[in-house]
Structure formats: structure tokens, C-alpha cells
């Protein structure tokens, strides 16, 4: 009898980048397999063929990526497959239960995304004309909040993190 394990992917947060997520399933003997899915999709692992009745346990985890702003889940989903043998010798799947994940089926791994703050380098140049500069004067520059449009066309508020600097 065969069973095909799955894991669903969810991403909480607005404007998450289109990313392919990698999942790993591990059996009781430490044998692993990987599958991938985009956010909102399902990763399908290879089909497992059972040749004997018994209870089989697997752990499904996500392999963390490196997308800025993405917090990768550390959830572990436990899949328990119970295989029964009928009196005529045929095998059947009595149950396949997922635990530890999100969603109604408990087989969803959820990440969160928060668009990362950007940064900019703003060069400042002070030009002095005339002969009144003796090299000991100090000048104060103030950087204040402003607005800009990001790459998605959204208006953002730029907040300086250096405050006032005296040069």
C-alpha cells in the first residue's frame, strides 16, 4: 500500500517575495528526502510503499532560507501513518495524522514576512566662499524625516537614525 506525504506552506505578512521553500521529511531510521513549494502551495514528497502492518512516524521540517525580512518557522510536523493488515493479507492505511503544524490538517508550516527597512547613504558637502574661514568653525547639519516612493510604488516615511551631527 502507498502513501504520499505532503507539507503546506503559508507566509503571513504583506508583499512577501516569491520564494521557493524547502522541506525535509525524516523517517525513524534517519533517512531524509526534500521537497519544495512556493508560499501558499503544497510540497509533495515521494510516495512511500508499505509492505508490513505497523505504525510509522516521520518528522517534517523546513530548511531555512535567507530572504531578508523572512522569519523562517522552526515548527516540526509529526506525521504518523498506521498501516493495517486485513484477514485476507491485504494492507490498508488506517490513518495518516499530522500534528504540530498549522491549519485544519495540521500540516502547514507558517513563516512571517516583514519588509526590511532600507538604508541610504546621503553625502553632505559644505562649500565656503570668501576668506573668513579659519578652520575652527563648526557647522550643524540636520537630517529630518521625509517621504519617498519605494520600488512597489508605496509611499514610505524615511526616518533618520543618526539624528543631528555636528561637523
What is the tens place of the pLDDT at every residue in 51-106?
Answer: 999 999 999 999 999 999 999 999 999 999 999 999 999 999 999 999 999 999 99
pLDDT interval class at 166 (50, 70, 90): very low
Say how far apart CA 11 and CA 73 lie, in whole Å: 10
Taking only the tens place, the pLDDT of each residue in 121-145 is 777 777 777 777 777 777 777 767 7
Say how far apart CA 35 and CA 12 lie, in whole Å: 21
Taking only the tens place, the pLDDT of each residue in 21-48 is 999 999 999 999 999 999 899 999 999 9
Closest-CA residue to 123 (of 139, 138, 143, 137): 143
Q: pTM score, two decimals?
A: 0.72
Say how far apart CA 114 and CA 68 lie, in whole Å: 9
Amino acid at each position: 500500500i502507498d502513501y504520499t506525504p505532503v507539507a503546506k506552506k503559508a507566509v503571513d505578512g504583506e508583499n512577501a517575495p516569491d520564494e521557493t521553500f524547502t522541506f525535509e521529511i525524516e523517517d525513524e531510521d534517519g533517512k531524509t528526502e526534500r521537497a519544495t513549494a512556493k508560499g501558499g502551495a503544497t510540497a509533495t514528497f515521494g510516495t512511500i510503499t508499505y509492505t508490513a502492518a505497523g505504525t510509522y512516524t516521520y518528522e517534517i521540517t523546513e530548511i531555512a532560507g535567507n530572504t531578508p525580512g523572512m522569519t523562517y518557522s522552526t515548527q516540526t510536523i509529526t506525521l504518523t501513518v498506521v498501516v493495517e493488515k486485513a484477514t485476507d493479507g491485504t494492507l490498508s492505511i488506517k490513518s495518516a495524522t499530522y500534528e504540530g503544524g498549522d491549519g485544519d490538517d495540521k500540516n502547514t508550516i507558517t513563516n512571517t514576512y516583514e519588509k526590511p527597512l532600507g538604508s541610504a547613504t546621503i553625502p553632505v558637502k559644505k562649500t565656503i566662499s570668501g576668506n573668513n574661514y579659519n578652520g575652527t568653525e563648526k557647522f550643524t547639519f540636520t537630517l529630518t524625516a521625509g517621504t519617498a516612493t519605494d520600488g512597489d510604488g508605496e509611499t514610505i516615511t524615511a526616518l533618520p537614525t543618526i539624528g543631528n551631527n555636528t561637523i
